[in-house]
């Protein structure tokens, strides 16, 4: 172990100026997430152009909870691997780094097997309990069964992206993700409408384009990790299950899985409330979720870059860099959210127009987009804070916040407002829930600072290298903490 430590150079997450580091790591991830957002929207845009486009759009919208559950399990597992791997990378525990990567890939394959079996057995039943419109059930079964049975690409692909991100190789993660997304975008109209000699597959064509894009992402991600990710060596022996590592992975990742699981249940239940008014409202809600991904996906890309930086520096006990990263991430996320809010408030008709919206969809959708988007104002802060909890190995707080937002507040408030029999009032439940979530997030953020960040002590910076040394190792006064000096060091480190 000691020899391995001597051979490894300090990772850039421990030495590069925090502002420069976050921007350089986040930029490719934000770009790839924007392409991913387009990836998510394209299916709905094209199926809405089919002769029975309203039913096709409703089917794809109703499939969202199941797809989101699948993505949530994949992302949650990979977030746990990302944070655990980055912390051990910061602590120079390289053998644990390799075993973490191997176990992450093993878990991804197991998750795929579970969803493939569930999709084959229950896709039709999933839609039959939501609607009695036979065409929507038929479209939905075709779409969801393909997306689940051939889902290995999404599980392993997302894991490979996070392995690249955990070691700071966000550009490679961006390339693999963009390749998959662009593949899907190109294949969607070809397979849906039967261009260039391809059979006209309709809604099923959208599903095939999706899974092919996911497999392209997976293949590139595996190639990049095996050939270019020098800080991780994935060997056959590292694929053997290590239950201590798996427990640590899910200690953090379980919160993300639970958040997405509750998110899937929330969407399912919210759809049932909306269908009580009209099925068009459920289609509008599905369109909203597709559109809001253009706002949230860049913030998630920022999260993907921020999480390993905070986790690495937590493992290396570098408090200055943790605080600086968090402050910058909140600022950038808030800016993205405010821009998204402006677009939703000013151009709701144009946004709905991409989905070939009928007059009925416009009547319901325009006020819906304007009301729901109000929660963007505070959502950026909450999203960044939740990822900070996970990076600091406290996923339980993320889970509590998510449960409050989506189950403890949103659904009860939506149900109560639905009793007014005024559809527009139901949309207000989303900003109300976000406000309550933000209050709890502030409380938890203060608590985790006092419990985990503040006890790390002070640090000093070596100007020549940018590397940090713990004050407790260099000066007897390390037990005291000068707040003004700390603020100055954070400002210098962020380029302020």
231 falls in which pLDDT band (50, 70, 90)?
confident
Task: Give domain status of residue 4, yes or no.
Answer: no
Q: At what angle do helices 395-403 and 429-448 cross, to 10 degrees?
A: 160
Residue 70 lies in a domain: yes
Report if residue 45 sits inside a domain.
yes
Can you tell me the distance from the alpha carbon of 22 to that of 318, in angstroms, rounded to the nearest whole number? 16
pLDDT at 483 over 50: no
Rounded to an integer, the average pLDDT of 138-153 is 92
Instruction: Domain count for the chain, please give it.
Output: 2
Please classify residue 466 by burial: count the beta carbons closer than 10 Å to its beta carbon, then call 0-12 exposed, 13-18 middle and 19+ buried: middle
Residue 2 located in a structural domain: no
In a domain, 187, yes or no: yes
DSSP 129: T
Predicted confidence (pLDDT) at residue 162 exceeds the cutoff of 50: yes
**Contact 170/306 with Cβ under 8 angstroms?**
no
- Alpha-carbon Rg of the chain, whole angstroms? 23
User: Which is more confidently placed, 368 or 5?
Assistant: 368
Check whether residue 45 and residue 173 sit in a common domain.
yes
Query: 98 and 173 share a domain?
Result: yes
Question: Same domain for 480 and 418?
Answer: no
Q: Does any domain span residue 1?
A: no
According to the per-residue pLDDT averaged within each range, which of 223-232, 293-302, 338-347, 453-462 is highest? 338-347
Task: Return d(Cα 249, Cα 83) in angstroms, integer.
Answer: 8
Same domain, 382 and 309: yes
Alpha carbon distance 83, 77 (integer Å)? 10
- Token couple for 158: 């997302």
The reply to whether 360 and 472 lie within a common domain is no
Identify whether the C-beta of residue 253 lies closer than 8 Å to the C-beta of residue 81.
yes
pLDDT above 60 (res 482):
no
pLDDT score at 314: 78
Place of tokens 């260099």: 474
Average pLDDT over residues 49-64: 83
* pLDDT tens track for 378-415: 888 888 888 788 778 776 787 788 778 777 888 999 99
Helix, strand, coil percentages, rounded to 5, for the chain: 85, 0, 15
The answer on 379 and 475 residing in a single domain is no
By CB neighbour count within 10 A (0-12 exposed, 13-18 middle, 19+ buried), where does 190 fall? Answer: middle
Q: Please report whether residue 212 resides in a domain.
A: yes
* 466, pLDDT greater than 60: no
Most confident of 245-254, 273-282, 463-472: 273-282
Residue 476's pLDDT band (boundaries 50, 70, 90)?
A: very low
Assign 1 a pLDDT band (cuts: 50, 70, 90).
very low
323 and 463 within one domain: no
Summarize pLDDT for 321-345 with one digit per residue, the tens: 888 888 888 888 889 899 999 999 9
- Please check the confidence at residue 481 and state whether its pLDDT lies above 60: no
Burial class of 367 by CB neighbour count within 10 A (0 to 12, 13 to 18, 19+): middle
444 and 495 housed in the same domain: no
How far apart (Å, rounded) are the C-alpha atoms in residues 223 and 32?
A: 18
Distance CA 325, CA 391 (A): 12
Residues 142 and 166 in one domain: yes
% of the chain at pLDDT higher than 90: 22
Q: Which residues of 33-63 are buried (b: 16+ CB within 10 A; e: fewer)?
A: bbbbbbbbbbbbbbbbebeebbbbbbbbbbb
Q: How confident is the model at residue 9 (pLDDT cuts 50, 70, 90)?
A: low
pTM of the model: 0.65
Burial 444-453 (b: 16+ CB within 10 A, else e): bbeebbeebb
Q: What is the largest CA-CA distance in the chain?
A: 77
Both 87 and 190 in a single domain? yes
Q: Please give the pLDDT value at position 465.
A: 33
- pLDDT score, position 12: 65
Inform me whether the pLDDT recorded for 216 exceeds 90. yes
Q: Are residues 295 and 158 in the same domain?
A: yes
69-83, 201-215, 278-292, 308-322: least confidently modelled range: 308-322
Tokens of 242: 């290590």
Structure tokens given for 434: 């976000």
Paired tokens of 244: 């201590």
Residue 55 shares a structural domain with residue 201: yes
Residue 26: pLDDT band (50, 70, 90) is: confident
Rounded CA gap, 201 and 207, in Å? Answer: 9
Helix/strand/coil for 20 = helix
The pLDDT mean for the chain works out to 80
Cβ atoms of 259 and 408 within 8 Å: the answer is no
pLDDT at 464: 33
> Can you say how many angstroms the Cα of residue 395 is from the centroid of all Cα atoms in its chain?
15
Give the model's pLDDT for residue 471. 33
Please give the residue range of the domain that contains residue 177: 9-456
Does residue 3 form part of some domain? no
**Residue 96 pLDDT exceeds 70:** yes
Q: Are 139 and 203 in contact (CB under 8 A)?
A: yes
């Amino acid at each position: 172990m000691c020899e391995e430590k001597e051979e490894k150079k300090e990772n850039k997450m421990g030495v590069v100026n925090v502002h420069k580091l976050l921007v350089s790591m986040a930029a490719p991830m934000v770009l790839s997430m924007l392409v991913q957002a387009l990836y998510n929207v394209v299916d709905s845009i094209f199926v809405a152009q089919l002769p029975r486009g309203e039913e096709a759009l409703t089917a794809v919208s109703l499939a969202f909870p199941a797809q989101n559950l699948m993505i949530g399990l994949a992302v949650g597992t990979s977030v746990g691997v990302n944070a655990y791997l980055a912390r051990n990378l910061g602590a120079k525990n390289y053998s644990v780094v390799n075993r973490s990567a191997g176990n992450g890939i093993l878990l991804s394959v197991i998750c795929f097997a579970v969803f493939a079996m569930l999709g084959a057995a229950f896709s039709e039943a999933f839609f039959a309990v939501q609607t009695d419109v036979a065409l929507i059930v038929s479209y939905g079964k075709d779409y969801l069964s393909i997306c689940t049975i051939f889902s290995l690409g999404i599980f392993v692909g997302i894991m490979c992206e996070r392995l690249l991100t955990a070691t700071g190789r966000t550009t490679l993660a961006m390339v693999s993700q963009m390749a998959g997304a662009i593949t899907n975008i190109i294949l969607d109209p070809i397979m849906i409408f039967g261009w260039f000699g391809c059979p006209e597959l309709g809604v099923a064509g959208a599903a095939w384009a999706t899974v092919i894009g996911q497999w392209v992402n997976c293949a590139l991600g595996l190639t990049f990790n095996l050939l270019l990710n020098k800080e991780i060596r994935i060997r056959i022996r590292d694929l053997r299950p290590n239950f201590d590592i798996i427990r640590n992975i899910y200690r953090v990742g379980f919160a993300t899985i639970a958040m997405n699981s509750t998110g899937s249940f929330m969407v399912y239940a919210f759809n049932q409330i909306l269908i009580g008014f009209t099925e068009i409202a459920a289609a509008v809600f599905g369109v909203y979720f597709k559109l809001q991904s253009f706002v949230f996906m860049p913030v998630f890309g920022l999260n993907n870059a921020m999480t390993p930086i905070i986790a690495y520096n937590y493992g290396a006990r570098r408090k200055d860099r943790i605080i600086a990263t968090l402050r910058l991430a909140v600022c950038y996320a808030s800016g993205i959210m405010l821009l998204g809010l402006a677009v939703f408030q000013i151009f709701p008709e144009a946004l709905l127009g991409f989905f070939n919206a009928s007059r009925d969809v416009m009547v319901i959708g325009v006020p819906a987009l304007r009301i729901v988007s109000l929660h963007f104002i505070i959502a950026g802060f909450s999203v960044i804070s939740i990822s900070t909890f996970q990076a600091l190995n406290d996923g339980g707080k993320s889970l509590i916040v998510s449960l409050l937002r989506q189950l403890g507040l949103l659904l009860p408030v939506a149900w109560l407002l639905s009793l007014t029999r005024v559809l527009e009032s139901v949309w207000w439940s989303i900003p109300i829930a976000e406000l309550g979530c933000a209050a709890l997030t502030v409380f938890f953020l203060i608590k985790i600072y006092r419990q985990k960040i503040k006890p790390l002590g002070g640090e000093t910076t070596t100007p020549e290298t940018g590397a940090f040394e713990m004050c407790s190792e260099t000066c007897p006064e390390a037990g005291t903490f000068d707040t003004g000096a700390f603020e100055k060091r954070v400002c210098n480190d962020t380029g302020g």
